[in-house]
Structure 1
């Protein structure tokens, strides 16, 4: 159970949250940045669903 939670948390931190934070730092904290970062977040979440399957295999989690 702990391994599953760690795999999920590390995946989200590395492949969804970190690129989103970089996007905010590049465009600044403004409404214009939200126009760019929201689509990036949606795409990362959609890609993340498929990528997490491979990440689970790497961590040997069912």
Structure 2
């Protein structure tokens, strides 16, 4: 899968700011909840940069 770069004009980028101001704190809150409720999420996230994971795999999602 190839990743294509997307370039935005200043106007396009600025038009996304109001939505980002809502979405980013929401994503941060969800991540905090995941880490608190499922400690393996934190471990998997830390190892993900090295292509790792947790012993439970995705079992905690189901």
TM-score for both structures, normalised by structure 2: 0.38
> Larger C-alpha radius of gyration, 1 or 2?
2
**Bigger RCO of structures 1 and 2 (CA < 8 A, at least 6 apart):** 1
Q: Which structure features the higher share of helix residues?
A: 1
TM-score for both structures, normalised by structure 1: 0.38
